Amino acid sequence: MLKSPDLPSRVKMTSITEIRALLDARKISAVELAKIYLDAVKRENPALSAYITVTEDAALDAARRADERIGAGESVPPLCGMPFVLKDNISTAGIRTTCGSKMLENYVPFYDAAVWEALRGQDAVMLGKGNMDEFAMGSTNETSYFGGAKNPRDLARVAGGSSGGVAAAVAGGLASFGIGSDTGGSIRQPASFCGVVGLKPTYGAVSRHGLIAYASSLDQIGPIAVSVKDLAAVFDAISARDKRDMTSRGAEQVSDSLTGDIRGMKIGLAREFYEGLPTDIAKALESAAKTYEKLGAELVDVSFPALRHALPAYYILACAEASSNLGRYDGLRYGRRAEGGGTLDETIRRTRSEGFGREVRRRILLGTYVLSAGYYDAYYNRAQLLRRGITNEFERMFSELDVLLTPTAPVTALPFGADLSPVETYQTDICTVPVNIAGAPAVSIPCGFDSDGLPIGAQLIGAKRGEKTILSAALAFENETGGAFIKAPTSGVKL
Amino acid sequence: MNWEMVIGLETHVELSTKTKIFCGCTTRFGGEPNTQCCHICTGMPGSLPVLNRSVVEYAAKAGLTLGGEVNTRSVMARKHYVYPDLTKAYQISQYDLPLVTGGGMYLANGRRIGLTRIHIEEDPGKLVYAGGEVRIDYNRSGIPLIEIVTEPDFRSKDEVLEYMERLQTALRAIGVSDCRMQEGSMRCDVNISLRRPGESAYGTRSETKNLNSFTAVAAAIEYEYDRQAEILDGGGTVTQETRAFDADTGETSASRGKEDADDYRYFPEPDIITVILPCDDIERLRGTLPEMPEDKLRRYTAELGVSEADARLLTKYRAVSEYFEKAVENVTPKLAAGFITTTMFSDVTTEAQREHWNPAVTAEHLNGLLRLLDENKINRATARRVYRQMDETGGPATAFLSDEDMGGVDGDALIEMCRAAISSNAKSVADYRAGKEKALKAIVGAVMRESKGRADAQAAEKTILRLIGGEK
């Protein structure tokens, strides 16, 4: 094994850029790299629960293929040989895909998701499948059947949700990047809790083919990484129009045109997002705004009155779609079937009662209710009207703005068992859900620490298909602060 | 008491596109169970439907044919119910914005049956009961369907049956479905209620689902009429419910699960974008529509002079009418129609064979034969004999005609001509009988004129002599 004296003795979260340089200079092989990461995963994952399934053999196979490509001297794609974690709601043929649920504990898909195809095509090295809230329903990872992922900054705290396992793996140095999904904040909020960066792309930028649906009109796949440039590189690798997803439109490539120059950029501060924020978070955001001003951006005070409609609209629409999407889990063809026999109806009922956790059952019931005859107009239809209103307000704001700066969440990583009521938990999604409702892109970047030393996230929201703009703004901040808010984790890979 | 029946029909028709409605699996009928399905039509987690453009176009053609308005913008919706043949626990269908609205069809009695709508949707899988077990075959899952919904405009069983037959003929003619009830590619739900004649309000209806033959539809209507009439006669009230028909007993019975009133929780399908069919496309589709069987029937009888009975037989299946139209070129239509419906149909007796009309004798070869017959170059007997030989070998008529066959008019045709000459030359006949030998030449001359010189004068003379009883 190569042991170059040039290598730092302890690389915490190693960026794609750094690893690319090491691989291309042949200072380390992809197989060696994969083994180092796999060892770290074996060592650290029992404490972190970032991975549900570790795919050692597949990882080493991919690494060997990557080494062949690198060895052949060809110009390899940016993610060739790069170790990563894939959220466990993204279908991988032959590799179990649990969705964090008892229902799919042993479900092995027979086809591949589009993003998995794209990454495998580059010979990126999947180390395993990332932990998540059951069916992506949750904000703390505590609804995972496999036990919630822990926050590498503080193991007594949650990694966030629902892509908590992915964020924890990246923040804990157990993957160089990760792929999550975001329905109401599920990429951005755990990225914020764990002190890494996460991008929720414009709806339709990344194919959902093979993504196990929670709420189809809101779900979007996106990357979690340790730097903005990495985020852009992964986004470029996975964004593409896909004929297999009628809602996909693809996106233009962003990596090469990120300048980090934001002079003259108009950054909006909508007061509604700042109401009742804890002091630490308010201060961190204020400081971030000042940094932007210093960098030459123009700060604009704006108003987003529709924010108060976002949560009710979101939970009605998301639960309605979830109740429909999850109807198929009856244990007849795949997944877990309740034992004990009985009639078909009894078996299906027991299968669903036993296979789904509380939160999933709650949302199915809520969604079934709002779609029922006699309630449809009062709930679903009104939520659709609110959705239109929120989308229109977004468009209005972005006719005058380039970026909207908000906190990613009104809280930092919660302790396990914080025992919030469901509604209190839902309220922590207030800053992220409007973005999904509007189908817009947003990135979460670390911008400070609270008094407990926990990361605080800032969210940069853009107009639809405005990934380049928000990533440029994120890069400017990262460059200016020198990554000061990306703190070394307590665990991780030693290269 | 006499009751008037009021019937509305919902007809499900499988479209004969090559691939399924949301994936690339084949729609071929009769494959081994579960060999024609994929992650999409089995509703595996994470799979997404991609709407097959041909399905939209086929359905639009059906809509145009039935006089409906094709909407440039329509929306797919999820219809939720739980049944093991339905892989996702919802069926992707259309709800408040269907592809086609309106339309109608005239019956022979002049009454018009209005159409409410035509929408597109996916067929579920099929439960197969065998050996005390229930198995599920998903080959059918995702086969494209249109549902054609009528207004409650039928007043008799016969009207329903006539509508179904005309619908079948029309959809076959435009090639969007084979409408084979025995294979389930056409199925009906019958909504029926009774009221006193002259009343304008509707009675309470029952809906008998999934009738898969004309016989079943007829029997279900009769049974429901009797059942409802008996209830009403006894002063009772009919319950609005869904009923199932038992083909063995000919009876209907209330379907299980009445307590769960149907609540399909429709909402717009988020995985499928709004279905847009631009006006230009609709007009292009309209341009591709062939002549409708009804119009064709009218043309055959009025313009071509074909008998109504023959015209019906010829227009029932598109393949037959296309064959006829090639074979009839420069031939007296009545002759061509008669030859097909008698000589040819005597070999091809089943409906299925006629539907897939593909005789060994090509239309071009038949046309060759019919021209010879029409021009009296051969007689009927020869034509039939030659047709048999053509049918066996697939060769053209000329391959089986000897010089003698072609040599002129003989046999039946000659006898006919001689008879005609005898009856129109009564004076010459009388003169001949009176001993004027020369008078015979005048009769033979008439035959020769009539046959344009193709008849054998000696043969004609012999024939005439035999017919008028004189021997030379």
The ipTM is 0.94
- What is the structure's pLDDT at B261? 58
Number of other residues whose CB lies within 10 A of the CB of residue A248: 21
Instruction: Check CB contact under 8 Å for A91 and B46.
Output: yes
| Ordered alpha helix ranges (H), B100-206 | 157-173
Determine phi and psi for A205, rounding to 5 degrees.
-70, -35
Is there a single domain that holds both residue B157 and residue B254? yes
Q: What's the rounded mean pLDDT across residues A291-303?
A: 97
Residues in Cβ contact with A32 at an 8 Å cutoff, skipping those fewer than 6 apart: A1, A2
Mean pLDDT, rounded, of chain A: 93
Residue of B372 and A64 predicted with greater confidence: A64
Q: What sign does the dihedral B34-B38-B43-B49 (CA atoms) show?
A: negative
Instruction: Check CB contact under 8 Å for B80 and A91.
Output: no
Residues in Cβ contact with A274 at an 8 Å cutoff, skipping those fewer than 6 apart: A282, A285, A406, A407
Q: What is the pLDDT of residues B277-289, one digit of tens each?
A: 999 999 999 999 9
Q: B434: domain range?
A: 411-467
Q: Which residue on chain B is closest to A327 by alpha carbon?
A: B89
Under the banding of pLDDT at 50, 70 and 90, the label for residue A10 is very low
pLDDT at A7 over 80: no
- What is the structure's pLDDT at B260? 53
Number of other residues whose CB lies within 10 A of the CB of residue B229: 16
Instruction: Flag whether B285 is in a domain.
Output: no
Under the banding of pLDDT at 50, 70 and 90, the label for residue A11 is very low
Could you tell me the residue ranges of all domains in chain A? 16-307+388-481
| Residue among B43, B267, B271 minimizing CB distance to A320 | B267
Give chain B positions within 8 Å (CB) of A348: 82
- Check: CB of residue A309 under 8 Å from CB of residue A432: no
Q: Is B112 helix (H, G, I), strand (E, B) or coil?
A: strand
Where are the strands (E) in A425-477, listed by range?
442-449, 455-461
- Check: CB of residue B269 under 8 Å from CB of residue B78: yes
Instruction: Check CB contact under 8 Å for A330 and B90.
Output: no
| Residue among B44, B48, B88 minimizing CB distance to A208 | B48
| Residue among A113, A320, A323 minimizing CB distance to B46 | A113
Range scoring the smallest mean pLDDT among A43-57, A178-192, B341-355: B341-355
Instruction: Flag whether B231 is in a domain.
Output: yes
Q: Which residues does A contribute to its contact with B (CB < 8 Å)? A: 89-91, 97, 99, 104, 107, 109-111, 113, 208-213, 215-217, 243-247, 320-321, 323-324, 327-328, 330, 332-334, 344, 348, 368, 371-373, 376, 380
Radius of gyration of the CA atoms of chain A, in A: 21
- What is the structure's pLDDT at A4? 32
Q: Which residues does B contribute to its contact with A (CB < 8 Å)? A: 38-39, 42-51, 78, 80, 82, 84, 87-90, 136, 263, 265-267, 270-273
Q: Is A123 helix (H, G, I), strand (E, B) or coil?
A: coil
Name A457's bridge partners.
Answer: A446
Give chain B positions within 8 Å (CB) of A328: 43, 45, 87-89
Stretches where chain B sits below pLDDT 50 are 258-259, 472
Tell whether omega for the bond before A324 is within 30 degrees of 0, i.e. cis: no
Instruction: Check CB contact under 8 Å for B263 and A373.
Output: yes
Which among B363, B389, B407 is the end of a domain? B407
Instruction: Check CB contact under 8 Å for A211 and B46.
Output: yes
Q: Which residue on chain A is closest to B134 by alpha carbon?
A: A344
Is there a single domain that holds both residue B402 and residue B433? no
Of A384, A345, A489, A375, residue with least CA distance to A12: A489
Q: Which residue on chain A is closest to B81 by alpha carbon?
A: A327
Is there a single domain that holds both residue B163 and residue B83? yes
Q: Is B2 exposed, middle or buried (0-12, 13-18, 19+ CB in 10 A)?
A: exposed
- What is the structure's pLDDT at A494? 47
| Selected residue of A219, A221, A242, A324 to mutate for chain B interface (largest B Cβ count, 10 A) | A324
Query: Would you give the DSSP letter of residue A211?
Result: B
Q: Is A358 exposed, middle or buried (0-12, 13-18, 19+ CB in 10 A)?
A: exposed
Query: Would you give the DSSP letter of residue B343?
Result: I
| Residue among A209, A328, A372 minimizing CB distance to B89 | A328
- Look up the CATH number of domain A16-307+388-481: 3.90.1300.10
| Residue among B39, B89, B270 minimizing CB distance to A216 | B270
Instruction: Check CB contact under 8 Å for A247 and B82.
Output: no
Residues of A identified as active-site? 87, 162, 186
State the total domains in chain B. 3
Is there a single domain that holds both residue B144 and residue B230? yes
- Check: CB of residue B68 under 8 Å from CB of residue B100: yes
Number of other residues whose CB lies within 10 A of the CB of residue B274: 10
| Residue among B38, B43, B270 minimizing CB distance to A328 | B43
- What is the structure's pLDDT at B356? 85
Instruction: Flag whether B472 is in a domain.
Output: no
CATH no. for residue B447?
1.10.10.410
Which among B407, B429, B458 is the end of a domain? B407
Q: What is the pLDDT of residues A405-452, one digit of tens each?
A: 999 999 999 999 988 888 888 899 999 999 999 999 999 999 999 999
Give chain A positions within 8 Å (CB) of B82: 327, 330, 348
Is there a single domain that holds both residue B353 and residue B453? no
CA distance A270 to A308: 13
CA angle B295, B300, B306 (to 5 degrees): 150
Shortest Cα–Cα distance, B267 to chain A (Å): 8
Q: Is A5 helix (H, G, I), strand (E, B) or coil?
A: coil
Which among B220, B245, B280 is the end of a domain? B280
- What is the structure's pLDDT at B255? 84
Where are the strands (E) in B314-422, listed by range?
none
Q: What is the pLDDT of residues B121-140, one digit of tens each?
A: 999 999 999 888 889 999 99
